[in-house]
Structure 1
Amino acid sequence: MSRSDELPVPQPTPGTRAFGLPGTLAQRWNAFAVAACGAVVLVMGYRHRWTNDDALIYTRAVRQILAGNGPVFNVQERAESSTGTLWQWLLAAGGALPGVSDPLRLAVALGLLLTVAGYLLALDGTRRMLRIHRPAGALLPAGVLVLLPLCATWDYATSGLETGLSFAYLGGAWWLLVRARTLRAASEAPAGRGRPALAPTAFALGLGPLVRPDLALVSGVFLAALWLLWRPPLRTTLGWAGAAAALPCAYEIFRAGYYGVLVPLPALAKEASGTQWQFGWDYLRNTLDPYLLWIPLSLLAGYIGYRAYGVCRARGASATAGTPAAPDASATAGASATPDTSAALGTSATAGTPTTPDTSAGLGTSATTGTPDTPETSAALGTSATTGAPATSTTSAEPDAPAPPGTSAEPGGAVTTGTPAGPGGAVTPGTSATPGTTGALGTPATFGTAVTPGSPAAPGTVTPGTAAPVGSAIGGGSAVGASLPHGVPVRRWVRWWGGTRDGRAAPRPYTADAVLVGAPVAAGLLSAFFVVKIGGDFMHGRMVLPALFLLLLPIFLLPLGRAATVLAGALAAWAVVCGLLLRPPLESPDDPRIVFDSHTVYQRVLGDTHPVGQSAHTERRLAFSDAARHTLRTGRHALVLRLPHDAGYPVVPLAPHVRAPVAAAEARLGHAGAVLPLDGFVIDTLGLSNPLGAHTEPTSRRKAGHEKPLDRAWVVADVTAPGTRVPGVDPDRVRAARHALTCGPLPELLASAREPLTPGRFWSNLTGAWDRTRFRIPADPVEAERRLC
């Protein structure tokens, strides 16, 4: 750990008490607190284990991969139905292991383990962050208590979806970012090893878009924070950028060439680029209101405000002459300076006269009068730190530069050559001050004792037993080169991005901390903004959880203290009430947008407390599944068509060109994919796996992700022979749809997914992916015919 990291809070010595607990006991308590929070997630997630229909969408694609058909939903067309690319391939890798027969059960187990891992990594990351300045302190769970009692947290610890992987990515990214901050500090230590290889960290942070497309926002923020923490040279920056973008860009090229579009089809079906503010706000409230989340969030905001008020009050007190300054306070006349104060921060060291940044003592300004120095008289630019006289190459040195042979260098940078001055005496050029007469490191001068207001010490002198305000030059020269306790040069605290001993750029310690803490907060705000912008989701809480997780990361744990103890107690009381009594509604009441408590709905519909296997879904008796199974048993080459509002399930012959034993058009895509064999053709009437339906224009806003119900005339026109009549489907609309399928970009859209994948087809898909992704057709076949033909 660097000296600058240790500066804000002195390191406790062995055997001392830190934050009310001995060091060993505090460490054991911290480990217990982290493990206990992880255990709560594990136990409650297991008690709420379940899967939903969308999980079956993933597992059908996984079964296709394991069968050798590629990452597709149907063997008849290349369509990407999985929103979480990494989750799909992770399940495929696990499904290839011996003894794994049901990918859905694997999804439940793996999702739960990844969720717990994400929370443990997040908690440990926050613990490591707090150790940077308070290595021996006990910590209390705080922000994490907001998430632990939520039903949504328990529900989506499993569900079969990619949410568990999302938590693992977010927790792991936070842990890696804290590690990068710690390595930054360690590299500045006297025995630091220099810059470590952080390309693997950049690679891991860049995986966000493959976990979920919207997590690209988190990747961008965390990668920017990594760069700000290190400020590497151009060559290293390019290396990090290449590592971060390597896998996402490679897969994007594969996606464009293989599928013919730039995003998974669910992103097109849900129009993730759209704007629906009111629906998004309603969805956010549907998550916050049932749990009274405004209470814990207000408590946390109040605690943060209380701590901020304390800092501001200390700064205000430091502005009064003779009043001891609290940390982060400015050094003024008569005010004792603390580690975070400096005359170079725009204030004259003696009279407290404000100076501009360009005339502060640390940037070429006299520390005694505030008078701007010229480059020829500034200690930082080659002058003596005692008299301000121009220094020769043998009488001055930069703060971290070695002194020439035969001379001695003060921490402030002034090189002395000879006779020590007596206590309190003037330090003349070419002499060195004796211990006890300067505020330099290693002297017994009292730290924090102010010089007399309005009576600056004469150049080269200092009152015995007192210290000049930190940041002022002891002899009237520049403050640059002066030292703080632990030997930290003021230069590192004055400049926004200061140089280190090996010439690398580095942020000030408190600037680095601000970058570290600000990264998850900024990412959380962006994630919440995105969720509200697109109109939310139809599953209660699912899309808000990652944003809330990010916002709370820096305060998952808090140092033990009086205020933190009161806060933790209040949060624990709310958590008990929430966990025992507060539950979300089964369906959003009186809202124009439907939001379900999906876990409870599936328990009731399936009649199973823990529907975790595929059989729990396929054994559900539905008119559709009965018709599909009957068609399979009879061996008919036919289409089972579900009419809108379950008006009927007519069975009609398929066209000869459809290479499938049976086809089915059904809105419950996961269920249909589980009922039909892998070589069956499942036509999604909501566009999640259907290239035609995904590119239609939205016609319904009632339910998120269900905004593009496909007119059945398109289905009949696409997979049946001309002249086929279907009860309940208007033949005129079927005729218009058949004609539209031959016009404009529609033939190329279908060819990009259905033609054999040759090198020429891959190149055509790749080069046309941008236009194909943006292409939309009217949902009404008659209007589509008019517009395209």
Structure 2
Amino acid sequence: MSDDGHIYVRTVRQVLAGNGPVFNAGERAESSTGTLWQWLLVVAGAPGADIAASAVYGGLLLTAAGFALAGLAALRLHGGARLLLPCGALVPLALPPVWDFATSGLETGLATCWIAGAWLALVARPRSLVTCAVLGLGPLVRPDLALVSAVFLAGQWVIARPSWRGVCAGAGAAGALPVAYEVFRMGYYGHLMPLPGVTKEASRSLWGRGLDYLRDFAGPYVLWLPLLIIVAAALTYLPAHGRGPAVRLPVRGRGPAVRLSARGRGAIARLAAARAGQLVPVAAPLAAGALCWLYVIKVGGDFMHGRMFLPGLFLMLLPVFLVPLTRAWTIAAAGVAIWAVACAALLRVPYEGRIGPQGIADERGVYVRQNAAAHPVRHDFAGQPGNMAYARLVRESARRGDLTGERALLLAHTAVPAARPGVTGVYNTLGFSGTVIPLSGAALDPIGLAYPLAAHSESFDGRVGHDKRLPDEWIVAERGVPGALPPGMDPARVDAARRALRCGPFAELRAATRAPMTAGRFWRNLTGAVERTSFRFSNDPVRAERQACGPRG
């Protein structure tokens, strides 16, 4: 289980405790990128099941279901042929990141299952409104999978060619749940997207860093080799089998002025629909997967090795997930199988169990080492003394608070009085911090995955996904007791931050996320979501104060 998987766990615990879908009680911040996964875990945890274990085994089950659904879709694509070979299916089966993230507690297993189920729906029932509803779920699985929804829905339209009434009905079925949740998100949280999308600047362009992320994924596994084998076999197979059936068209008249009869026009329409039914299920996942990869490269990739490329890879392999038993495909499948055995048994990243030189982590290996456990599901970080010391400080502060009413603000391993009850802990490892901080306290990350103020701070040239860090002066100004400062902190900078927080967009951001939720607050959040999401401020409190409040009188 990854640390980010434990971010979901804390939010689910807050929901089940009656505090709403928030990371910290009293502050409306959407830390869960996968909306549907979060609510599935709420359903799993409601009867009392262990949430972390549900996330691990649920992800594994959904991954297996995704492979099964992809196989069923491939059978339908090939007309129910009995003799099919696994070919594209062998590639994700062999890749270590696929299985690392299937049980990471993240939404990867759900994404695999939804992609395969959406493809099956497109292949098997392209004219159904249920299919429209399934295809429209992409943004709720992960916001970037809206690209997949758009491509699949366009493919469905090409196959079905519905009337305008059918288009409206399909759009309503596809958009009902995502649009309804987006309205809720804007009104409740005051943002257009989950907070990680704000802190990671999901609209920026970092092409060079994204290409490095691609090389980090493809290079260690020699991924170009199975893809080259599959492409070569497809180019051999298509010329011989890519032609549609011959159709004899009834015509009227002779000579140059030939008119098709009604039967002829109907035959052409049926032929076009049949060809679309053959081509779209192949073209749609290829196009969607390519767009997913292009987006990941554009935004600079991620800090988890391979994670963000997995949905796009799975999509692009769907048309060849299972292949016909022909000579070309048999040779290709054998070649891919040899690569798959070598990949699964031998090929690994050169920084196995660590964070690589480019800031990309072998996610599972890192948490195996830090927890000193072969299969870490719950965080104890027995192999990470710094985290263990932080956990002890949290427990001691919570105990003193229970006995004396003391309010503690923990800046890593420094404690100062806090302005709010309970323990407020500030730590980079958010999932771990959310595990050890009581639900009544506040687990903050200076990166901004669950802390709105940090999410809107300016970024710097740092590790992908970790290139924001809110200076401590801001945290002390917002969460600390006036006059109580850690050793060495400049009181003038804290005063500047405290004044800025009362001005303009800062005050509005705090009201949007902390003011009591009323109908009026919901409406202000909803109508101001665009401007609020785009708000950024300087990390320098003096400069930010001047920009937000104007010069001091």
Inter-CA distance 161–519: structure 2 relative to 1 (3 Å threshold): same
State the one-letter code of the partner of 2:303. Answer: F
Pick the aligned partner of 2:399 from 633, 652, 658: 633
Inter-CA distance 555–723: structure 2 relative to 1 (3 Å threshold): same
Please name the residue that 1:691 is paired with: 452
Assess if the C-alpha contact under 8 Å between 1:654 and 1:719 holds in 2. Answer: yes
**2-structure distance, mates of 1:205, 1:54:** 26
Within 5 A, what are the aligned runs for 1:162-201? 162-181=107-126, 198-201=128-131
Please name the residue that 2:433 is paired with: 672
1:109 equivalent in alignment to 2:57: yes
* SS of residue in 2 equivalent to 1:641: strand
**1-structure distance, mates of 2:383, 2:472:** 24
Pick the aligned partner of 2:223 from 271, 286, 293: 293
Please name the residue that 1:340 is paired with: 246
Note the C-alpha offset of 1:731. Answer: 2.4
Pick the aligned partner of 2:23 from 73, 85, 89: 73
Please name the residue that 1:606 is paired with: 371
* SS of residue in 2 equivalent to 1:652: strand
**2-structure distance, mates of 1:533, 1:691:** 24
**1-structure distance, mates of 2:532, 2:195:** 12
State the one-letter code of the partner of 2:51. Answer: P
1:380 equivalent in alignment to 2:145: no
Note the C-alpha offset of 1:521. Answer: 0.6
Assess if the C-alpha contact under 8 Å between 1:617 and 1:671 holds in 2. Answer: no
Worse-superposed segment, 590-599 or 748-757 = 590-599
Q: Higher RCO, 1 or 2 (CA under 8 Å, sep at least 6)?
A: 2
Please name the residue that 1:642 is paired with: 411
1:788 equivalent in alignment to 2:548: yes
* SS of residue in 2 equivalent to 1:651: strand
* SS of residue in 1 equivalent to 2:373: coil
Note the C-alpha offset of 1:262. Answer: 1.2
Note the C-alpha offset of 1:623. Answer: 2.2
TM-score using structure 1 length: 0.66
**2-structure distance, mates of 1:632, 1:591:** 36
**2-structure distance, mates of 1:598, 1:589:** 8
State the one-letter code of the partner of 2:166. Answer: T
Assess if the C-alpha contact under 8 Å between 2:36 and 2:140 holds in 1. Answer: yes
Assess if the C-alpha contact under 8 Å between 1:654 and 1:720 holds in 2. Answer: yes
Assess if the C-alpha contact under 8 Å between 1:64 and 1:678 holds in 2. Answer: yes
State the one-letter code of the partner of 1:72. Answer: V
State the one-letter code of the partner of 1:761. Answer: R
Gaps spanning 5+ residues in structure 1: where?
1-50, 182-195, 313-326, 329-338, 345-361, 382-397, 400-480, 482-490, 501-505, 644-648
Assess if the C-alpha contact under 8 Å between 2:369 and 2:383 holds in 1. Answer: no
Note the C-alpha offset of 1:705. Answer: 1.4
**2-structure distance, mates of 1:145, 1:618:** 35
Please name the residue that 1:509 is paired with: 274
1:60 equivalent in alignment to 2:10: yes
1:278 equivalent in alignment to 2:208: yes
Pick the aligned partner of 1:539 from 278, 284, 304: 304
**2-structure distance, mates of 1:283, 1:261:** 28
Note the C-alpha offset of 1:579. Answer: 1.1
**2-structure distance, mates of 1:545, 1:77:** 33
1:87 equivalent in alignment to 2:17: no
Inter-CA distance 579–633: structure 2 relative to 1 (3 Å threshold): same
State the one-letter code of the partner of 1:552. Answer: L
Note the C-alpha offset of 1:616. Answer: 6.6
**1-structure distance, mates of 2:133, 2:274:** 25
Worse-superposed segment, 634-643 or 295-304 = 634-643
| CA deviation string 1:423-473 (max 9, x = no partner) | xxxxxxxxxxxxxxxxxxxxxxxxxxxxxxxxxxxxxxxxxxxxxxxxxxx
Note the C-alpha offset of 1:614. Answer: 4.9
**2-structure distance, mates of 1:593, 1:618:** 23
State the one-letter code of the partner of 1:109. Answer: Y
Inter-CA distance 586–301: structure 2 relative to 1 (3 Å threshold): same
* SS of residue in 2 equivalent to 1:544: helix
Note the C-alpha offset of 1:601. Answer: 1.0
Note the C-alpha offset of 1:779. Answer: 1.9
1:704 equivalent in alignment to 2:434: no
State the one-letter code of the partner of 2:256. Answer: P
Note the C-alpha offset of 1:585. Answer: 2.6
**2-structure distance, mates of 1:136, 1:289:** 35
Please name the residue that 1:521 is paired with: 286
Please name the residue that 1:767 is paired with: 527
Inter-CA distance 617–242: structure 2 relative to 1 (3 Å threshold): farther
| CA deviation string 1:135-181 (max 9, x = no partner) | 44410011111111110111111100111111111011011111125
**2-structure distance, mates of 1:63, 1:81:** 13
Please name the residue that 1:129 is paired with: 77
Assess if the C-alpha contact under 8 Å between 2:410 and 2:423 holds in 1. Answer: no
Q: How many residues align?
A: 545
Inter-CA distance 673–136: structure 2 relative to 1 (3 Å threshold): closer
Assess if the C-alpha contact under 8 Å between 2:251 and 2:259 holds in 1. Answer: no
Pick the aligned partner of 1:749 from 484, 509, 532: 509
Note the C-alpha offset of 1:718. Answer: 0.3
1:257 equivalent in alignment to 2:161: no
**1-structure distance, mates of 2:202, 2:353:** 22
Assess if the C-alpha contact under 8 Å between 1:74 and 1:678 holds in 2. Answer: yes
Note the C-alpha offset of 1:365. Answer: 8.6
Note the C-alpha offset of 1:650. Answer: 1.6
1:203 equivalent in alignment to 2:133: yes
Q: Once superposed, which parts of structure 1, at least 4 consecutive aligned residues long, lie more than 6 Å away?
A: 362-365, 587-592, 616-620
**2-structure distance, mates of 1:607, 1:661:** 30
* SS of residue in 1 equivalent to 2:201: coil
State the one-letter code of the partner of 2:391. Answer: S
* SS of residue in 2 equivalent to 1:148: helix
Note the C-alpha offset of 1:364. Answer: 8.1
Assess if the C-alpha contact under 8 Å between 2:446 and 2:454 holds in 1. Answer: yes
Assess if the C-alpha contact under 8 Å between 1:205 and 1:223 holds in 2. Answer: yes
Assess if the C-alpha contact under 8 Å between 1:364 and 1:372 holds in 2. Answer: no
State the one-letter code of the partner of 2:190. Answer: G
Note the C-alpha offset of 1:310. Answer: 4.6
Within 5 A, what are the aligned runs for 1:384-399? 398-399=262-263
State the one-letter code of the partner of 1:224. Answer: A
State the one-letter code of the partner of 1:674. Answer: T
* SS of residue in 2 equivalent to 1:593: coil
Please name the residue that 1:549 is paired with: 314
**1-structure distance, mates of 2:355, 2:190:** 41
* SS of residue in 1 equivalent to 2:85: strand
| CA deviation string 1:190-242 (max 9, x = no partner) | xxxxxx6x112111111110110001111111111111111111111111111
Assess if the C-alpha contact under 8 Å between 2:352 and 2:365 holds in 1. Answer: no
Note the C-alpha offset of 1:661. Answer: 1.3
**2-structure distance, mates of 1:591, 1:281:** 15
Assess if the C-alpha contact under 8 Å between 1:75 and 1:678 holds in 2. Answer: yes
Assess if the C-alpha contact under 8 Å between 1:125 and 1:174 holds in 2. Answer: yes
Inter-CA distance 226–78: structure 2 relative to 1 (3 Å threshold): same
Assess if the C-alpha contact under 8 Å between 2:409 and 2:480 holds in 1. Answer: no
Note the C-alpha offset of 1:675. Answer: 0.5
| CA deviation string 1:4-60 (max 9, x = no partner) | xxxxxxxxxxxxxxxxxxxxxxxxxxxxxxxxxxxxxxxxxxxxxxx0111111000
| CA deviation string 1:552-583 (max 9, x = no partner) | 10100110011111111111111111111111
**2-structure distance, mates of 1:567, 1:168:** 26
Please name the residue that 1:467 is paired with: none
Please name the residue that 1:469 is paired with: none
Higher Rg of the two aligned structures: 1
Q: Cα RMSD over matched residues?
A: 2.3
**2-structure distance, mates of 1:616, 1:628:** 14
